[in-house]
Structure 1
Amino acid sequence: MGIIETHIHLYSDEYKADRNALIQQAIDAGVEAFYMPNVDVHSIEPMFAVEKDFPQHCFAMMGLHPCYVKEDYKEQLAVIERQLASRTFVALGEVGIDLHWDKSFLAQQQDALNIQAEWALKYNLPIVIHSREANAESLEVLKPYMQRGLRGVFHCFSGSLAEVTLLKTYGWMIGIGGVITYKKAGLDTLIEEIGIGQVVLETDGPYLAPVPYRGKRNEPAYIDIIAQKIGDVLHMPKEAVVEQTTANSRLLFGNSFRNSK
């Protein structure tokens, strides 16, 4: 069973020089699928280009990232909605709330998240949540949708045991990436409470490279390092981590998109 990489920005300019080689290297190393989150209206076409080059392995999401929610967010959301209506996507994402860089657009981020959560239900798509220094705010918006059956994943999770418990109650997945290899992050302790049954693997490349590559460009093949670290923490063989996280990914995202394009 191959690895499913649930969150990587393969269309990023940081991969421009060697993108195809890096993707092929990861495929050869056992990655069977890459799920690509959209960020704004400008990333759509580059993302589609990667999908076209690797149609059996690279799959697009559609959404407006909270860091790109600015004065024009409703115009951007109109483009996002047209895309959602025009074809099939593996998920709606990445969306959410980010209060790390700028708190001045919180109201707009909350509105955008509400709108996109409604779309996820409308189109029967899992939602991929970006929540940075904003878990309370994100969950306040999302909980009513969870109660209506919204399913999804908290990407690059960093939160409390109480938040883990809430997400598990609603059957949500938790995305674990390179941060688990950072000594002071505390994620290695938290994952013991999460358990492997609701974890999916991600790199968030080109960002957040795992140790020993921290601070450098994160590459698709580094997903293997993350799987190994999770196995070390949970005292499981890496192969068992891959098998369970891939099953988790298939449960959340499904396989119907493979035959829908």
Structure 2
Amino acid sequence: MILADSHAHVYSEQFKPDQDAMLNRAYEAGVQTIYMPNIDHTSIDVMLETEARFPQQCHPMMGLHPCSVGKYFEKQLYEVEEWLGKRPFAAVGECGIDLYWDKTLLAEQQEALRIQIAMAKQHKLPLVLHTRDAFRETADLIEAAQDGTLRGVFHCFSGSKEEAEEVIRLGFKLGIGGVATFKNGGLDKTLPGIALEHLLLETDCPYLAPMPHRGKRNEPAYLPLIARRVADILGKDEEEVVEATTRNTEALFVAGV
């Protein structure tokens, strides 16, 4: 089976000792396509170096992570815009709102997201959204900007059935990762009844490793574990889940590559 990891930080410092072996393990596990979200100006070079070494497997996005949004975020967004004008990227991201660590910069995060929404429209690219403790704030901005051209994914989705249905109404996909395998992750209650056409699979590695690796470093080779769990939750064949989610991922991102 051929899988696509729709969100993986395979350029992370945590993979520096064994990046080649890690990506080979991914390929052997069937993960032939990996989409890499950018974080900020410090991650661009190492992300693009990873793409240069594994051009068939690893595809970069360009954006500014909400946790990297400070008082003077505009300078970083100028750099994002400059890169988007230089060469192809799969998406604008990851971007969004994160209120888990710090609520004092909400206004700045909202403005940074508005600007990146405009970039996605201008470059006709999908948005990859980070929404930690900020689903409502993020969804409201997407709804206000949705003119029929916006598309993308709410990455690392772990919300309620009602939130999942709202994402779908907004024209976005649900990125499903290791949380689906957690005993109290909640996705066993959210996903039943959600059509496969709305789902992407992701690892968000090196974070959020699925069971039985929870608490350890995550990697794309673990994506089949997530696919298997999603298949169990939906009562579907694993191969059907893999084929559908891989097709969905390629349809969303490939136009930008």
Aligned pairs for 1:104-115 within 5 A: 104-115=104-115
User: What displacement does 1:250 show?
Assistant: 1.9
**Contact preservation (8 Å) 2:62, 2:89:** yes
What residue in structure 2 maps to residue 166 of structure 1?
Answer: 166
Residues 1-261 of structure 1: matches in 2 within 5 Å?
2-255=2-255, 257=257
Cα distance in 2 for partners of 1:72, 1:53 equals 33
Shift of 1:255: 4.7
Normalising by structure 2, we get a TM-score of 0.97
Q: Is the CA contact (8 Å cut-off) linking 2:210 and 2:218 kept in structure 1?
A: yes
Whole-angstrom distance in 2 between the partners of 1:159 and 1:226: 17
Identity in percent: 47
Task: Compute the displacement of 1:119 (Å).
Answer: 0.3
Cα distance in 1 between the residues matched to 2:130 and 2:45: 21
- Distance in 1 (alpha carbons) for counterparts of 2:256 and 2:11: 23
Per-residue deviation at 1:189? 1.5
Tell me which moved more, 50-59 or 165-174. Answer: 165-174
SS at match of 1:98: coil
Counterpart CA distance in 1 for 2:109 and 2:197 is: 30
What is the alpha-carbon distance in structure 2 between the residues aligned to residue 177 and residue 50 of structure 1? Answer: 22
Amino acid paired to 1:164: A
- TM-score, normalised via structure 1 length: 0.95
| Residue pair 2:89, 2:256 contacting (<8 A) in 1 also | no
Counterpart code for 1:180:
A
The alignment partner of 1:194 has SS state of coil
Equivalent residues, number: 257
The amino acid that maps onto 2:250 is: R
Q: CA deviation at 1:256?
A: 5.8
Tell me the SS of whatever aligns to 2:84. helix
The SS at the match of 1:192 is coil
Q: 2 CA distance for matches of 1:149 and 1:166?
A: 17
Deviations 1:140-174, CA, capped at 9 Å, x for gaps: 11112223420010000122222222221233110
Question: Which amino acid letter does the alignment assign opposite residue 248 of structure 1?
Answer: N
Counterpart CA distance in 2 for 1:182 and 1:102 is 26
Given that 1:161 and 1:193 are in contact with CA atoms closer than 8 Å, whether structure 2 keeps it comes out as no
Which amino acid is 2:212 matched to? P
SS at match of 2:47: helix
- Secondary structure of 1:132's aligned partner: coil
Aligned to 1:21, what secondary structure does the other structure show?
Answer: helix
- In the aligned structure 1, how far is the partner of 2:231 from the partner of 2:86? 40
> Aligned letter for 2:116?
Q
2:161/2:189 contact within 8 Å kept: no
Structure 2, unmatched stretches of 5+, are none
